[in-house]
Amino acid sequence: MTAARSADAPFAFLKGHGTENDFVIVPDPDGVLDVSAADVARLCDRRAGIGADGLLRVVRSAAHPEAAALASEAEWFMDYRNSDGSIAEMCGNGVRVFARYLQRAGLVGAGDLDIATRAGVRHAHIGKDGVDGTEGEITVTMGPAELPGGEVSVGVDGQTWPAVHVSMGNPHAVAFVDDLDDAGELLRAPAVSPAGAYPNGTNVEFVVDRGPAHVAMRVHERGSGETRSCGTGACAVMVAAARRDGLNPARTGQPVTYTVDVPGGRLVVTERADGEIEMTGPAVILAEGTIDPSWLAAPSH
């Protein structure tokens, strides 16, 4: 275990994205950094900071009190924070970017990898790079979906739609609409009722059909606002669409795969017969540098 860093010592960061759901990545293998909610919000600020939908802190599971019990299953813990500094259980695009960082840092190679999250251990597979040098896509097992049931609705600008309550380790309200523009600007969180359905808030997805087993979505993420992509949201959308279409792998014994278009790209989501959800998509690391601690400690303006 290394000593805690000096308060005035610079520390490293990287920037990455998965289908344009972007993250500040902070390597902290020994868990010595004290990254406050205010720090996260400042780093993720798109005008006065680096800019991101969230922050991924890379910590060895054994070095983090929330993940120590999972250390025998997964060496690395994804400490994920929303852009406002709030803690989130899971982030599907974030897991892929997290895995890409570990590969870039030489800590893992192509193949299988287990990652601890607040929603449990997630299994990733890093594909081999193409012969043209393109990075292999990453598949992440996202756990089973839960459909708690109950009537839920979401509203934007005076319009209201029924929604499907789906949990992917974090909460989602999935609404099928005629046009994605119906969701408006999504600058503010859509209204969700009944108020007690999501006591800790929820992510809201608006979905349209593009073809057989092919949908497109927009999402307002809890704690971040509208984002270009949401991995757990794409999984929730796939399950909601499959059930709407009368498809349930647990009953048929056959996996179901949907293509889910997001503003930042495309994800492929499969629900297996055992209920496990798999999501495949790209992950890119695009920059790295160091944080000036004097800037982080200075009063914001």
Give the per-residue pLDDT at 290: 96
Give the percent of the chain with pLDDT over 70.
97
Give the per-residue pLDDT at 112: 97
Residues 101 and 172 in one domain: no
232 is in an annotated binding site: yes
**Number of domains within the chain:** 2
Residues 169 and 273 in one domain: yes
Q: Are strands 256-262 and 225-227 parallel, antiparallel or unpaired?
A: unpaired
Residues 258 and 288 in one domain: no
Please report which confidence band the pLDDT of residue 133 belongs to, taking 50, 70 and 90 as the band edges. Answer: confident
What is this structure's pTM? 0.91
Phi, psi of 228 (to 5 degrees): -75, -15
221 is in an annotated binding site: yes
Least confident interval from 59-68, 95-104, 187-196:
187-196
Residue 15, in any domain of the structure? yes
Please report which confidence band the pLDDT of residue 207 belongs to, taking 50, 70 and 90 as the band edges. Answer: very high
Q: Which residues are catalytic?
A: 91, 230
- The phi-psi region of residue 210 (left if phi > 0; otherwise alpha if psi is between -120 and 50; otherwise beta) is alpha
Residues 121 and 222 in one domain: no
Residues 198 and 235 in one domain: yes
Please report which confidence band the pLDDT of residue 301 belongs to, taking 50, 70 and 90 as the band edges. Answer: low
CA distance 155 to 204: 10
Residue type, 135: E
The conformation of residue 87, written as its DSSP 8-state character, comes to: B
Closest CA to 174 of 199, 158, 197: 197
Residue 6, in any domain of the structure? no
Strand (E) or helix (H) holding 179:
none
Residue 145, in any domain of the structure? no
Task: Report the CATH number at residue 189.
Answer: 3.10.310.10
Residues 167 and 274 in one domain: yes
Residues 191 and 78 in one domain: no
Residue 144, in any domain of the structure? no
Residue type, 37: A
200 is in an annotated binding site: no
Domain that holds residue 59: 11-137+284-297
Residues 260 and 224 in one domain: yes
Q: What is the pLDDT of residues 149-192, one digit of tens each?
A: 889 999 998 899 999 999 998 999 999 999 999 888 887 889 99
Give the per-residue pLDDT at 230: 94
Contact 240, 275 (CB under 8 A): no
222 is in an annotated binding site: yes
Least confident interval from 48-52, 68-72, 186-190:
186-190
Instruction: Say whether pLDDT at 300 is over 90.
Output: no
Residues 167 and 133 in one domain: no
248 is in an annotated binding site: no
Residues 116 and 45 in one domain: yes
Residues 109 and 187 in one domain: no
Residue 199, in any domain of the structure? yes
Residues 189 and 121 in one domain: no
Residue 142, in any domain of the structure? no
Contact 284, 135 (CB under 8 A): yes
Residue 143, in any domain of the structure? no
Residue 288, in any domain of the structure? yes
151 is in an annotated binding site: no
